[in-house]
Structure formats: C-alpha cells, structure tokens
Amino acid sequence: MASIKRQSLVPGTLDLLILKTLTAGPQHGYGIASHIKDWSREVLQIDEGSLYPALQRLRQRGWVESEWRRSPNNQRARYYTITAGGRKQLGIEEASFTETFDAIRRVLRSV
C-alpha cells in the first residue's frame, strides 16, 4: 500500500520503483526514498510506513538482500542490493507496467 504525499502511487508500483532504484547499486532506505523523490521531480514521496514494510517484503521474497555497512559519513546503515531473482522480477514488472500504462494511455486518447 503506497501512501501519498502529492500524488498517489499506482498500486503495485512501489516494488517496481525500489527494484529499479537498486539496479544503480546498493542503497540504504533513505537513499532509495530520496532517489525516487528526486527523479520524480518530487511528485512521488515515499514515507517510512510504506518503504520499510515494502523492503521487508522484497527481502522475504528473495528479491533484495541487505547488509549493514558504514555510510560515507561513518554511520551504520543498512544497504539493500538487488538479487538475480529481483532483476528477473523487475523485468517482468517493468514489461507489464509499460504494457498496462500504454493501454491506459490509448484509452484516454480514444475519445
């Protein structure tokens, strides 16, 4: 369940966004949230109540792994890495999202 800041997230897309973010390299929770906020020009803001349950879910499904590391400012932070299974899942979700999104756009242009 994605919660809202300015724009509600299309249901089911939070996992997609997290996985996509992680393809750029390991990242901690705050980093993931910042990445999504920046790249959506602050339209999509993910709060902790959605982000951390989602990360736990992805971990339990085996799509991400986590490990504690030192952050650049020398604080302990948990970094998430996408797994091979996660990449495969990302491929599936990306394809299906694009397909659905195109379909919706076609309908919106139809009349």
Partner 1 sequence: MTMSIRELVARLRDRIQRERLSEELADELQYHRSLLERDGPAGRALGNATYYREETRAMWSLGLVDDLWHDARYASRVLRRDAGFTVAVILTLALGIGANTAVFSIVNAVLLRPLPYRQPDRLIEVSVAPVAAPTDRNPTSLPDLRDWQRDATMLDGIAGYAFNRFDLRGAEGDDQARAILATGTLYDVLGAVPLLGRLPRADEENTPVVAISYRLWQQRFAGNPGVLGRQLVMSQQPYTIVGVMPPGFHFPGPDIDLWTTLYSIISSPNDNGPNLWLTSRSLRGYRVLARLAPGITAPRAEAGLNAIEHRLAVTFPDDDGGLDVHVLSVREQALSGVARGLWTVFGAAALILLLSCVNVAHLLLERTASRTRELAVRRALGAHRGRVIRQLGAESVLLGLLGGAAGIALAYAAMRVLLRLAPPDIPRLENVAIDLPTLAFAVTVSLIAAALFGVAPAIFGWSGDVQETLRAQGKGASTGAHGQGTRALLTTMEVAFAIVILIAAGLVLRSFKELTSSNIGLDPEGIAVAQLTVAGTRYLSNDMKTQTVDRVLANVRAIPGVTAAGASTSMPPTRIQEIEGFSVVGEPAPEAGHEPTAIYIPATPAFLSALRIPVVTGRDFDARDDAKAPPVVIISRELARRHFTHVDPVGHQLRISGATRTIIGVAGDAIYEGVGAPVTPVVYVPFAQSPFPGVWLAIRTTTAPNAIAGQLRDAFRRVDPDLAVRPPQPLDVLVSESIVRPRFQAWLLSIFGGLALVLASVGIYGVVAYGVTQRRSELGIRIALGAPKRSVVSTVLRAGMMPVLLGLAIGLAVAYTGSRVLAGLLYGVTPTDTLTFAAVPLVLFTTALIAAYVPAHRASRVDPLIAIRGE
**Binding footprint of partner 1 on the chain (CB under 8 A):** 5, 28-30, 33, 45, 47-50, 52-53, 56-57, 59-62, 68, 71, 75-78
* Residue with Cβ nearer partner 1 (19 or 28): 28
Give the CA-trace dihedral at 89, 91, 95, 100, to 10 degrees. 30
- Report which of 25, 75, 17 is spatially closest to residue 44, judged by C-alpha positions: 17
- Supply the minimum distance, in Å, between the C-beta of residue 21 and partner 1: 15
Q: What's the min distance (Å) between Cβ of 78 and partner 1?
A: 5
| Helical axes 13-22 vs 84-109, angle rounded to 10° | 130
| Shortest distance in whole angstroms from residue 62 CB to partner 1 | 6
